[in-house]
């Protein structure tokens, strides 16, 4: 047996070392992750393979969450990959609030530190430029807040009436039916915990009470605001669970068309999320 192992090592050591180094590189330096859902439409589509910079803020011990050195922190507006605290699946969402921020989500309008986001409807030519099939229920807005802008997708006008728009519902403290209660409400105030549980149980996610993001936690939201299992469902995300910042699309396939390549999305930056100049 030892002779066979020695022979195997001599013949395959180059390949084994290459695989090992590649795994270490993907774990600690950069990775490419598949996007499984459409929660980040219209900027990121299901079937995209995004490039993730894992050295954006710190250096991590490969295959762990342990940081060796840290030189920065994620910012509002960053699109990040992180480990979902509920089931440890890898998620891709946008950071909309960082530790210390005061946040309110009222009738699909985002308010951070007392500043209300502005929502400018996309012009028809801008909607036509989006890389998705637009249905009658889809509405697109340029959301601008605290110096950052992105395009968001909703089913109802921000600030308007729609299903689940009663702001008083968000203050209910009935959390008895909340799945994974201790996980999704970690670090949350009683009113925020109730709103998260309500969102997960009844999909009534259009209004949340004002809350402050605690130290070491981040509030995530998908750009497809009415179809995203983000912090409104999974709760606040710990800094240690954030792996890296997504900044480009390596390649993309269309799952609805037998995985045909979307060549127009190959090697494109995610900064395109403002389709045309206002």
Spans of all domains in the chain: 33-273
Give residue 273's pLDDT band: very low, low, confident or very high (50, 70, 90). Answer: very low
Domain 33-273 of CATH type 3.40.50.360: no
d(CA 44, CA 251): 11
Structure tokens at 49: 């393979």
Q: Region 214-223: what's the mean pLDDT? A: 96
Q: Which residues contact 159 (CB under 8 A, 6 or more apart)?
A: 107, 108, 109, 119
Cis preceding linkage at 42, omega within 30: yes
pLDDT in tens, 2-16: 777 776 777 777 877
Whether residue 262 is predicted with pLDDT greater than 50 in this model: the reply is yes
pLDDT at 174: 54
- DSSP for 154-171? ESS-TTS--TT--GGGGG
Please state, rounded to an integer, the average pLDDT across all residues of the chain.
86
Say if strands 30-34 and 237-238 run parallel, antiparallel, or are unpaired. unpaired
Whether residue 276 is predicted with pLDDT greater than 50 in this model: the reply is no
d(CA 260, CA 252): 9
Q: Is the dihedral of CA 33, 36, 40, 45 positive or negative?
A: positive
Q: Which residues contact 70 (CB under 8 A, 6 or more apart)?
A: 57, 58, 59
This prediction's pTM: 0.87
Give residue 83's pLDDT band: very low, low, confident or very high (50, 70, 90). Answer: very high
pLDDT at 175: 54
Burial label for 21, CB within 10 Å (0-12, 13-18, 19+), is exposed
216 CA to centre of own chain? 17
How many alpha carbons fall within 13 Å on the CB side of residue 145? 25
pLDDT at 162: 59
Q: What percent of the chain has pLDDT over 90?
A: 51
pLDDT at 180: 83
Q: Region 104-123: what's the mean pLDDT? A: 95
d(CA 227, CA 216): 26
Which position has the higher pLDDT, 173 or 115? 115
Give residue 22's pLDDT band: very low, low, confident or very high (50, 70, 90). Answer: confident
């Amino acid at each position: 047996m030892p002779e066979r192992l020695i022979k195997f090592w001599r013949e395959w050591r180059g390949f084994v070392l290459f695989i090992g180094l590649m795994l270490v590189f993907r774990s600690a330096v950069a990775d490419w992750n598949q996007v499984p859902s459409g929660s980040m439409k219209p900027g990121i589509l299901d079937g995209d393979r995004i490039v993730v910079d894992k050295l954006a803020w710190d250096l991590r011990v490969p295959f762990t969450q342990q940081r060796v050195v840290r030189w920065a922190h994620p910012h509002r507006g960053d699109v990040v990959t992180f480990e979902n605290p509920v089931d440890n699946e890898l998620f891709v969402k946008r950071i909309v609030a960082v530790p210390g921020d005061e946040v309110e989500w009222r009738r699909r309008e985002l308010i951070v530190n007392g500043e209300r986001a502005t929502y400018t409807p996309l012009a028809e030519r801008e909607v036509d430029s989006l890389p998705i099939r637009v249905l009658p229920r889809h509405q697109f807005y340029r959301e601008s807040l605290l110096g950052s802008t992105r395009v968001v997708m909703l089913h109802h006008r921000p600030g308007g009436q729609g299903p689940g728009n009663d702001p008083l519902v968000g203050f209910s403290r009935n959390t008895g039916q909340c799945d994974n209660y201790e996980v999704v409400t970690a670090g949350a105030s009683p009113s925020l915990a109730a709103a998260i549980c309500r969102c997960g149980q009844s999909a009534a996610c259009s209004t949340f009470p004002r809350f402050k993001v605690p130290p070491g936690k981040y509030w995530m939201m998908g750009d497809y605001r009415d179809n995203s299992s983000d912090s409104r469902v999974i709760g606040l995300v710990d800094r240690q669970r954030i792996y890296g910042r997504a900044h480009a699309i390596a390649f993309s396939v269309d799952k609805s068309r037998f995985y045909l390549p979307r060549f127009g999305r190959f090697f494109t930056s995610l900064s395109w999320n403002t389709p045309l100049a206002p």
